[in-house]
Structure 1
Amino acid sequence: MGDSSASYIHLVHHLIEKCLLFYMTKEECMEALSKHAKINPVITSTVWKELEKENKDFFEGYSLRREEWKPEMETRERILKLQSESSKGNTDD
């Protein structure tokens, strides 16, 4: 069981790294992994916290970059939401 647990943790770690590429917050990552990969948010949060401990400098810089990118990310989110709403409207015909 230890090997499968390690593999699962490695998978969660990998998926968190993908979330980081999209400048997601821990909460956004927890929500995304829960919704799309059926990963318990507690597991995601625990792995995220361990990554923060191990990579303190990275996460400090990450937080700063998120703040710098915040206006652009908000605009991108609005565009994606509009596109999603538009595509839903097209399938309801």
Structure 2
Amino acid sequence: MGDSSASYIRLVQHLIEECIIFNMSKEECMEALSKHANIKPVITSTVWKELEKENKEFFEAYTEGREERASQIETKERIHKILLDSNSRKSDTKDNHD
């Protein structure tokens, strides 16, 4: 069983690495592997935690980068909404004067 367990863990690790390439969070990765690879979330979580222990600096930078990107996206969405609202008001004003 030891050899098959080790190969299963390596498979899960490889799939987690694929999730990281796609910039997924731990939770997103757990959900994706559960849905698409039939891997129990507790297994993914456990392997992810071990990877975090072994690669602490990488995961700190990864988490920080994900948070920064999320903040940038949120800011862009707010700006986009403000611009849309502004254009909508201009359109309303123009329609009222026609």
Could you state the TM-score of these two structures normalised by the residue count of structure 2?
Answer: 0.71
Amino acid at match of 1:58: F
| Residue 53 in structure 1 maps to residue 76 in structure 2 | no
Equivalent-residue separation in structure 2 for 1:21 and 1:67 (angstroms): 16
Amino acid at match of 1:17: E
Match of 2:18 in 1: 18
Amino acid at match of 1:55: N
Could you state the TM-score of these two structures normalised by the residue count of structure 1?
Answer: 0.75
Equivalent-residue separation in structure 2 for 1:41 and 1:27 (angstroms): 9
Equivalent-residue separation in structure 2 for 1:35 and 1:63 (angstroms): 23
Equivalent-residue separation in structure 2 for 1:47 and 1:35 (angstroms): 17
Equivalent-residue separation in structure 2 for 1:8 and 1:69 (angstroms): 32
Consecutive aligned runs of 4 or more in structure 1 exceeding 2 Å deviation: none
Structure 2: 5+ residue runs without aligned partners? 78-98
Match of 1:2 in 2: 2
Greater relative contact order, per chain length (Cα 8 Å cut-off, separation 6+): 1
Please report how far the alpha carbon of residue 41 of structure 1 lies from its aligned counterpart in structure 2 after TM superposition: 0.4
Q: Out of 17-26 and 62-71, give the one that drifted further.
A: 62-71
Structure 1: 5+ residue runs without aligned partners? 76-93
Please report how far the alpha carbon of residue 3 of structure 1 lies from its aligned counterpart in structure 2 after TM superposition: 0.3
Match of 1:62 in 2: 62
